[in-house]
A and B are shown apart, each in its own frame.
Chain A
Amino acid sequence: DTGVSQNPRHKITKRGQNVTFRCDPISEHNRLYWYRQTLGQGPEFLTYFQNEAQLEKSRLLSDRFSAERPKGSFSTLEIQRTEQGDSAMYLCATPRPLSYNEQFFGPGTRLTVL
């Protein structure tokens, strides 16, 4: 257990619906990353936060995706008007303090868009 929690663990939705995922990182970690992993691929970077500031966004993050981290604690990732291609595992990660590359992942949210 890395101490990073994500909810829900599974989400099934119909195409066109909006979904929101939540990540609760280990406290006192100011950096938080979101990745997406599809079948047969490694995790791909989506976006990351330092405290409440969203510092970088991947080109994978279309305008249907939005992420927030109010107060620099938990983070949410929302997908609007879901498409079947959004089906994936959405992973949240935080780094070990003073070892920024050593990232620890939450259990992920598996999204299935029908």
Chain B
Amino acid sequence: EDKVVQSPLSLVVHEGDTVTLNCSYEVTNFRSLLWYKQEKKAPTFLFMLTSSGIEKKSGRLSSILDKKELFSILNITATQTGDSAVYLCAVGANSGNTPLVFGKGTRLSVIA
């Protein structure tokens, strides 16, 4: 059965800190790994990664995938209180028609 495990489950940091969120997966016929940010509403898309070793970057957020070791990390530098959210990792398989399999998420709290 496909599985996604995120760690830590929760994290509290001070503004300005850098954080690294982890996601490991086991999935048959891996196609892509996605990161979402969820505040008190539906998940919003951050990144989709399909190739190993290629960093994707958007402002203070960046992510990279390791398909050999089956994991991904999401980095957030110079954290701000607005980064407080649940960060979800999901994997997609096969041709892309299959549904995403999500981890439980990492709850990040950034305090001033």
Contact = CB atoms under 8 A, between A and B. Distances in A.
Interface of A: 2, 31, 33, 35, 40-45, 48, 50, 55-56, 89, 91, 95, 99-108
Contacts of B100: 33, 43, 45, 101, 103
B53 interface: no
Interface residues of B, number: 25
A42 B88 contact: yes
A100 B104 contact: no
B34 A102 contact: yes
Given A2-B42, A42-B4, 14 more contacts: A2-B44, A41-B104, A42-B103, A43-B43, A43-B88, A44-B102, A45-B99, A89-B42, A101-B48, A101-B96, A102-B32, A102-B34, A102-B45, A107-B42
A61 B41 CA distance: 23
Given A41-B104, A42-B104, A56 B41 contact: no
B98 to A, nearest CB: 8
Contacts of B92: 100-101
Contacts of A41: 104-105
Contacts of B58: none
